[in-house]
Amino acid sequence: MKTKILLIAVVLLVCLHAPQTLGQLGRPLAGSSIGQSLRNAATVTYDQSAGLRIAVDNWTRRARAGVYSDANFCHDYATALGRFAALRTQFNYAAELALQLGRPGANNAVADLDAGLGSILELFAFLQEQYNAGTLDRVSLLRTTAALQKALREWDSELRRNGSRLGVVW
């Protein structure tokens, strides 16, 4: 019963408090070519990633504070998860455009970046499982948010490095 209530609360928090939820995400401006549309989509993807990094940085800072409650965790988790969902949706759009180029390098870059997002999602799942089991302690929370920060920075770096493989010139 507690898990169902928590799950409903998280969904509501994501819908109501996340700066961008899936329903609010719009596709970037289409360019005059697939390449231009891809550049636009990649730029919005990077912006989404930056927003998620900021949310996780703020979450980590608040979690280090002396008083950090379940309500704080639920809010921060829902905000970060909502931003992650928006990033995932935006990346999927950019990846769809990159795959239309039909180049093996673009296909490999998409696969690498997608795998990175999968690893980030596993960290969110770990936190949710620990919280639901009632075993999430402050040390685990701080280690996991630090791992999220590191994974997001690495993913951003990979996005920038793989720009040419994707067909994007920054």
Contact residues for 166 (Cβ-Cβ < 8 A; gap 6+): 38, 42, 94, 98, 106, 109, 110
Residue 24's pLDDT is what? 42
> Is 4 inside a domain boundary?
no
Q: What is the mean pLDDT of residues 73-82?
A: 97
Residue 2 lies in a domain: no
Q: What's the pLDDT score for residue 76?
A: 97
Whole-number Å distance between alpha carbons of 38 and 92: 11
94 falls within a domain: yes
Q: Which domain holds residue 157?
A: 34-166
The answer to whether residue 51 sits within a structural domain is yes
pLDDT at 31: 58
Is pLDDT larger for residue 168 or for residue 71? 71
Q: With the C-alpha atoms ordered 14, 20, 27, 123, is the resulting torsion angle positive or negative?
A: negative
Whether 130 maps to a domain, the answer reads yes
Structural domains in the chain (count): 1
Mean pLDDT computed over 152-169? 84
As a 3-state breakdown, the chain gives helix, strand, coil percent values, each rounded to 5, of: 80, 0, 20
pLDDT digits over 11-63, tens only? 444 443 444 443 344 455 565 677 788 888 888 999 999 999 999 999 999 99
Q: Looking at the domain assignment, is residue 9 inside a domain?
A: no
Structure confidence at residue 129 (pLDDT): 97
Per-residue pLDDT tens for 137-152?
999 999 999 999 999 9
Kindly state the average pLDDT of the residues 89-107: 90
CATH number for the domain spanning 101: value is 1.20.120.230
**pLDDT value of residue 71:** 94
